[in-house]
């Protein structure tokens, strides 16, 4: 029976990783892999994480199962940072659970929406490629709209049209901040308009918050999501700690539900637990336990936030240098200065991307997405010069 399976195309990013690894050039530049890098090119473990892990080694007395909901101490400790310190449960209407990374949270959110009757999800494009793969795997129809304008700003008209045109049972999937792959976020004023449209729509908001803290700050990056939640009766939120705690391989995420009434939460969460049990049984605990320890210890919290500030400042500096360069050949780099997070998309052809790789050792996704954290003081000049050469 297994011989009926047809070969699938290899993952393009994994292939890119191998090409970069096998390239012998010492001045090669990796702008493909979506992880933070320091000015020296490394992806370090946070000092706050190392301190929390030492505490775990000394104090953890069991590795027994936690259940499909995972580490609820982690889930609850994270809530003030996600939803705001004042009333993070929105009057008892929000409840959550741990998931294997933000990917697991997106999968659970969309699967729960389907169980509740959703059949179509409106999604801005381009988007994180796995969004479409998850929706396809769940046999959910995708109605796409253009996320970005040609000038590097968000297409507000398109998202408002999608929300206003949504039918009963539709969901709208939005990035909370630091949009992947474009880096183009909605402004606070645009989020106000989006929230007002949701308030008059039958659509269910699903908000993917994968990069909180990497744009302008923890509270600043949550403004859009919180604005929507204040305007709607119910919503689903997928959250990742993989990036803002540097826990990529530990797969640390959370899924939250905001219900119309707190009395509805037991039934909703029982469905979420059932879906989780069938998918991954129980989430991995180590990374979530480390985050819990950090968020419950003021000194470790301060250390983590300081490290996050350093990450964000470095990416801002790279973006400012790119923006200050103006144009490189036919590529206008100015919009990158107002974009957020790890990623931006450059308007390059497949041939130009191939030329950057073959002639200059610069590796990026075939879509033109670059990870700005792959640029440093030592290589940013080479990158800008190579762009100018291949697009001249």
Q: How far is Cα 74 from Cα 254, in angstroms, rounded to an integer?
A: 9
Torsions phi, psi for 363 (to 5 deg):
-110, 125
Which one from 170, 243, 250, 304 is the annotated catalytic residue?
Answer: 243
Which one from 30, 71, 185, 208 is the annotated catalytic residue?
Answer: 208
208 carries an active-site annotation: yes
Torsions phi, psi for 245 (to 5 deg):
-120, 0
128 carries an active-site annotation: yes
Question: For 148, which DSSP code?
Answer: B
Q: Is 363 helix (H, G, I), strand (E, B) or coil?
A: strand
Q: How far is Cα 50 from Cα 182, in angstroms, rounded to an integer?
A: 32
Half-sphere exposure of 164 (CA within 13 A, CB side): 10
- Least Cα distance to 170 among 161, 181, 179 occurs for 161
309 carries an active-site annotation: no
Q: Is 302 helix (H, G, I), strand (E, B) or coil?
A: helix
Please name the helix (run of DSSP H) or strand (run of DSSP E) that holds residue 104, with its range, or none: helix 101-115
Torsions phi, psi for 11 (to 5 deg):
-60, 125
Which one from 30, 71, 114, 128 is the annotated catalytic residue?
Answer: 128
> So which residues are the catalytic ones?
128, 208, 243
């Amino acid at each position: 029976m297994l011989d009926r399976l047809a070969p699938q195309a290899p993952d393009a990013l994994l292939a890119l990783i191998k090409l970069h690894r096998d390239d012998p050039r010492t001045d090669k530049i990796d702008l493909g892999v979506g992880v933070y890098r320091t000015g020296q090119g490394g992806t370090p473990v946070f000092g706050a994480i190392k301190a929390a892990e030492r505490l775990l080694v000394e104090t953890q007395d069991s590795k027994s199962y936690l259940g499909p909901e995972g580490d609820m101490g982690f889930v609850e400790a994270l809530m003030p940072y996600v939803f705001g310190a004042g009333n993070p449960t929105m009057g008892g209407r929000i409840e959550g659970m741990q998931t294997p990374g933000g990917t697991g949270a997106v999968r659970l959110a969309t699967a729960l929406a389907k169980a509740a009757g959703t059949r179509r999800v409106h999604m801005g494009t381009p988007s994180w490629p796995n969004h479409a793969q998850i929706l396809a795997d769940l046999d959910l129809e995708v109605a796409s709209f253009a996320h970005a304008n040609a000038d590097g700003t968000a297409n507000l008209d398109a998202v408002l049209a999608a929300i206003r045109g949504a039918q009963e049972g539709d969901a709208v999937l939005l990035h909370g901040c630091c949009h992947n792959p474009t880096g183009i976020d909605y402004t606070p004023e645009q989020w106000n308009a989006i929230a007002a449209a949701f308030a008059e729509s039958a659509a269910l908001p699903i908000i993917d918050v994968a990069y909180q803290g990497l744009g302008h700050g923890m509270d600043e990056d949550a403004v859009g999501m919180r604005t929507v939640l204040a305007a709607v009766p119910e919503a689903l939120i997928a959250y990742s700690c993989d990036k803002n705690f540097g826990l990529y391989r530990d797969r640390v995420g959370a899924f939250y539900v905001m219900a119309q009434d707190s009395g509805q939460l037991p039934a909703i969460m029982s469905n979420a637990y059932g879906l989780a049990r069938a998918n991954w049984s129980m989430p991995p605990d180590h990374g979530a336990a480390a985050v819990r320890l950090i968020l419950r210890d003021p000194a470790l919290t301060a250390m983590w936030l300081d490290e996050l500030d350093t990450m964000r400042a470095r990416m801002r500096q790279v973006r400012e240098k790119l923006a200050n360069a103006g144009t490189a050949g036919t590529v206008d780099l100015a919009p990158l200065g107002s974009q957020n997070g790890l990623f931006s998309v450059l308007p390059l052809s497949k041939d130009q991307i191939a030329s950057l790789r073959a002639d200059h050792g610069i590796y990026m996704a075939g879509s033109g997405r670059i990870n700005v954290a792959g640029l440093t003081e030592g290589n940013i000049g080479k990158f800008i010069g190579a762009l100018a050469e291949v697009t001249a």
